[in-house]
Structure 1
Amino acid sequence: MKQSDIQLSTFFTFFLALLIFCACQPNELSRQDLTSGLKKHTIFLASDELEGRETGSRGAEEAARYIAQQFEASHLTPGGTNGYLQAFDVTPSMNPHEKPEMNADGDSLTIKALNVVGMIDNPGDQVIVIGAHYDHLGYGGFGSLHRGDTLIHNGADDNASGVAVLLMLAEKLKSKKLNQDIMFIAFSGEEKGLWGSNYFVKNPTIELKNIKAMINMDMVGRLNEERSLVVHGTGTSPVWEQLLGAHNTDNLSLIMKPSGMGPSDHTSFYLQDIPVLHFFTGQHEDYHKPTDDVDKLNYEGMTDIAEYITRITISLDSASKMEFTKTKDESQDTPRFKVTLGVIPDYLYDGKGMRIDGVSEGKPASKAGLQKGDVVVKLGGENVEDMMSYMKALSRFNEGDTTTVVVKRGEEQLNYSIEF
């Protein structure tokens, strides 16, 4: 064989080996692919065909099977009790003061639900859990803030957005060379009372002691112009604040909340002494209403959040076992209300006062003339410095009371009479 033929044969052998090697490597997602995937998943999960994904419904089961199919497409190892699925039954109590009973099969009230669990099985023993709930309110009912005809509550932001980020993180992180396992869980029953996450931590498919941290995404679809991102749970480990700051290369405006307790699935893990983070882009006037639809989501913002959580997850891979710290349960300090002003607070606002993000028709604020964007600085003679002081001031009123509210609207300070 001629020397030139030998060289050519060697080149083709090398080229063929390179093609085989590249074919075996997971492809790195481009930003465009990430955004496109987020949009695709959200549109499916928030479609009318799934009828609001209420726990135990046909639509919820269809959503669970879609998520399982996506886990399989991303080559995740099944982490449920039946492939990717972890089935559980819940029998709600007729007494609202009693907890529902898990796995009380046979009762006519029993609801059958599914968690969906997949894992990137890396060499290490420790596990990073990434979670999001996929259920919503179906046609409304308890929990809905809609008044009028019965309509499908598609829950695009709450929480098709979080599940879409979960699915794309699974695809994105699969291509990374990591040591620690990553478990992805799509929970059911969150809207009913954290049913799915509560069931999982009490019936885990891995050793709870091996879980290093839990990252939760619930309502991450509406990053605003100020790029405000609330991160709950920053006090559950001493490393969180430094780590969150170090990887914020997209100039997100972080609002850090120390407490590990809250109305989403991270709470179930926090109660097992596991460090948690919960990402949230804020409440809005479409919350728990049929108008929470896909056309109102910020997909570029969701992409930024997915990239941010990717960087945080990768940094956790090299960190040693994290120290857990208990935090104050802020919900215990929340006053009880006998009346409502009829506004949606802007939970992302970190200035002085309480900024209004939405006004409900027919409620005291609407009747008085308050508007979205107004900042409440005084209520009934009490200064309003923040959300907590606003709630304490509101808790002092009874139905039929009248008072005065002072708001800032731009540079103006305005007084309004309120009747509860």
Structure 2
Amino acid sequence: MKKIALFSIVLFAFACKNQAKLAENNIKEDVTFLADDKLEGRQTGTPGEKAASDYISKRFKAIGLLQKGTDGYIQSFSFKPKTDPHKEVEFTTNADSTITGRNVIGYIDNGAKSTIVIGAHYDHLGFGGEGSLYREKDKAVHNGADDNASGVAVMLNLASRLNIKNNQAETKDQNNYLFMAFSGEEMGLLGSNYFSKNPTIDTKSINYMINMDMIGRMKPDSTLAVYGLGTSPMFKQTLKSNNENFKLVENESGVGPSDHTSFYLIDVPVLHFFTGQHEDYHKPGDDSEKLNYEGMNLISDYIFTIINDLDDNGKLAFRKTKNESEEVPRFKVGLGVVPDYLFDGKGMRIDGTREDTPATNAGLQKGDIVIKLGNAEVTDMMSYMAALSTFDKGDEAAITVKRGDSIINTKVKF
């Protein structure tokens, strides 16, 4: 009888241990909370953003992460809103006319010499404002489910998985992990910029940084853009050898319009994951029910595998890349479309159009591929922008698009 009881205890303990290895998947629940109307769009410095930061802090605690902010999980920073768009924001301790953002920072301490930063911004546009592409007169909440509740939810999932893995493993990973939910991204990468100048760990110990921004709208062709591949010699082969599910669109540059840029600029290798823009980008329609949760789970699996594969490679070498954003032409007019940044064919594919714009007035539609604008052939995004930069307001130009198997020639008035 004692043997049976002992066997039952051992069996129960074994079952509990195996059960504990399974991290909870709260991706959909996390997105649903962060993108709820009650948070009023999570604009930096608002009660809605504070509610979001409180929620992320509670999730960090439930997962078992250590506090690594300046006040528990929180790293607050105050700044004066910019009046000149060409100047850098001024961080300040003066309370007059300032906005306060709150980075949320959690930590897994494996006693390692190096640390991997895994981050995503959680702020959004509130009721719209300067960054909104919504053109109606009514006031509407911009919930930002894809931008960027999606990235935060996958970050939380990775935190849970990595914490359970390291608690269960006989040997700890050779890296610590710092998880960051950034504030102020929509106002100019403010939270990540502030952390890079006021870090809560030694930045020289950072091995590399993973950033997730808008990873919730994976398209049927499973396209996944990864930026920063050129920032370390280890990245390209590692991503390629572990890829079983995605059509990867690779970009070498460490500079881009998201928080990985702040880390690249302090000589940290970076990887940025992105599933592309869409018609609801920076509009009230970016809601939780429109996300591709199966795709988000695949991205979480992929990043988890990449982290594990890189674990025994020591501290990765950093490499500077060409700053492609410096080569972007300046233009005075726009076509009024959302480009498909993940399109890798010839031309510039339109992923969405806005009402009462040169594009819609010319009869252009979602899915059209611009192959000629004026006298210029359009072969990719850069050639499209170069062609667009030659026009002024009031100009009229011939435009050629491919729609299915048809070639359509029309005119566009800027």
345, 360, 368: which one aligns with 2:362? 368
Deviation of 1:20 (Å)? 5.0
Residue aligning to 1:227: 222
Question: Does 2:78 match 1:83?
Answer: no
Partners in 2 of 1:214 and 1:336 — Cα distance? 30
What's the % identity of the aligned pairs? 55
Partners in 2 of 1:104 and 1:243 — Cα distance? 43
8 Å CA contact 1:406, 1:414 repeated in 2: yes
Say which is worse superposed, 315-324 or 8-17, in terms of deviation: 8-17
Question: What secondary structure does 1:146 align onto?
Answer: coil
Deviations 1:234-259 (A, max 9, x none): 0101111100011112x200000000
Residue identity in the other structure for 1:216? N
Residue identity in the other structure for 1:374? D
1:54-203 alignment runs, 5 A limit: 54-107=43-96, 109-148=97-136, 149-176=138-165, 177=169, 178-203=173-198
Pair 1:131–1:385, CA change in 2 (3 A): same
8 Å CA contact 1:133, 1:162 repeated in 2: yes
8 Å CA contact 1:353, 1:376 repeated in 2: yes
Question: What secondary structure does 1:142 align onto?
Answer: helix
Superposition RMSD in Å: 1.5
Deviations 1:381-401 (A, max 9, x none): 100010000000000000111
Question: Does 2:20 match 1:27?
Answer: yes
Residue identity in the other structure for 2:151? G
| Structure 1 residues without counterparts, runs of 5 or longer | 1-7
Partners in 1 of 2:86 and 2:243 — Cα distance? 42
Question: What secondary structure does 1:238 align onto?
Answer: coil
Residue aligning to 1:4: none
Partners in 1 of 2:55 and 2:266 — Cα distance? 29
**May I ask how many residue pairs the two structures share in their alignment?**
407
Partners in 2 of 1:304 and 1:322 — Cα distance? 25
Q: Which structure: larger Rg?
A: 1
Residue aligning to 1:12: 5
Say which is worse superposed, 171-180 or 124-133, in terms of deviation: 171-180
Deviation of 1:94 (Å)? 2.7
Residue aligning to 1:405: 399
Deviation of 1:25 (Å)? 7.5
Question: Does 2:296 match 1:302?
Answer: yes
Residue aligning to 1:243: 238
Pair 1:200–1:18, CA change in 2 (3 A): farther
8 Å CA contact 1:235, 1:260 repeated in 2: yes
8 Å CA contact 1:379, 1:393 repeated in 2: yes
Say which is worse superposed, 58-67 or 85-94, in terms of deviation: 85-94
Deviations 1:134-185 (A, max 9, x none): 0000000110010121110000000000001011111111121323111110
Question: What secondary structure does 2:317 align onto?
Answer: coil
Q: Normalising by structure 1, what TM-score?
A: 0.94
Residue identity in the other structure for 2:330? R
Residue identity in the other structure for 2:314? S
1:308-323 alignment runs, 5 A limit: 308-323=302-317
389, 393, 398: which one aligns with 2:387? 393
Partners in 2 of 1:407 and 1:93 — Cα distance? 40
Deviation of 1:376 (Å)? 0.5
